[in-house]
Amino acid sequence: MLDDIALLRQMVEISSPSHHEEALATFLVEQMQQLGFAARRDEAGNAIAQVGEHGPLVVLLGHIDTVAGVVPVRQEAGRLYGRGTVDAKGPFASFIVATHRAYQAGSLNCRVVLIGAVEEEAATSKGAHFVVDQYAPDYCVIGEPSGWERVTLGYKGRLLATYRHEQAGAHSAGEQKAAPEHMVDFWMAVQLRCAQYNAERDRLFEQINPSLRAVASGSDGLNDWCEATLGLRLPEAIAPEQMAEELAQMALQVTGETTISFTGHCPAFRSPRSTPLASAFVRAIRGAGGNPGFVHKTGTADMNVVGPAWKCPIVAYGPGDSRLDHAPDEHIVLDEYQRGIAVLTTVLANLS
């Protein structure tokens, strides 16, 4: 019998920061082949497996990359610590185990494609973008931590902005603003714009959430410069392109001649709660003794990439506390991990 905890621990012990997922992808392909799945790595580096011959096509899409940073792997007090236990090796391991259990029990009444995607944390979503034209599923589950009793229906959009201001050098005692002061003016203007927009909207999912991710400045003695990276989480009502145009105008008005460029364009996405897939999760959670609920996340996930293209019932689900994403003490409660597997196993048996 497949050891669910051993599988997750082995996955977590294999380092797989974004752009360096090959070792884990190779391991997963080998493991899934041993389970009887038709498994391979695709051209993007994703770990792919297929099982089942009849029924609707269900894509279980999780990501196998992590953010940087080493969290020593250890198991204690019913918890497994390590980078990726929550975000998102735990959810993908639960996909593998649940699919295998349903298949072994003869209750898998659907065709399942498991995708361990690369570069989700790098904001490129390389793996998801590659598979979006490869499949046309009837249902899709994204592997992200929601807690075993919660189902995620939507994620906010994203825009990354790189601001750079250069000017002739000047003495600090002079009247000219320093390059970093211009950047601060721009950042304060961004914050004010977001605060004004958010004042009329109570729900966090409908607000703009700005973050200042990095700042650097310097001088060569003749010219001064300041560079900053901003991130904005966007609601459904604001397209990334719209926000980019507004920020470019704002930078010009507030700080004059300034270079600002944009990456990571990703619109928000939300799925209805009335789909057969969402209902299947509600029934399965209740059947496992849980109190089901729906959530909308302020982050961004591969759902934002495949959801608009596939236009099928889609949710995100996975064991783990998302507040521990990227945390220095990232860990998963193993009882919750196993409850999540049980829920997924029931859902796969009922998607016929």
Peptide bond before 77: cis, by omega within 30 degrees of 0?
no
User: Pick the catalytic residue: 4, 87, 119, 120?
Assistant: 120
Ramachandran sector of residue 23 (left: φ over 0; alpha: ψ -120 to 50; beta: rest): alpha
Q: Is position 120 annotated as part of the catalytic site? A: yes
To the nearest 10 degrees (0 to 180), the angle between helices 22-34 and 89-105 is 10
CB 82 within 8 A of CB 141: no
User: Pick the catalytic residue: 21, 65, 121, 336?
Assistant: 65
Q: Is position 43 annotated as part of the catalytic site? A: no
CA distances to 14, 48, 140, 154, 175 from 117, rounded to whole Å, are 15, 8, 14, 19, 53
DSSP assignment letter at 199: T
To the nearest 10 degrees (0 to 180), the angle between helices 334-350 and 89-105 is 50
3-class secondary structure, 158: strand
- Whole-number Å distance between alpha carbons of 234 and 199: 15
List % helix, strand, coil for the chain (3-state, nearest 5). Answer: 35, 30, 35
Q: Which of 298, 296, 317, 315 is nearest to 307 (CA)?
A: 315
Catalytic residues: 65, 120
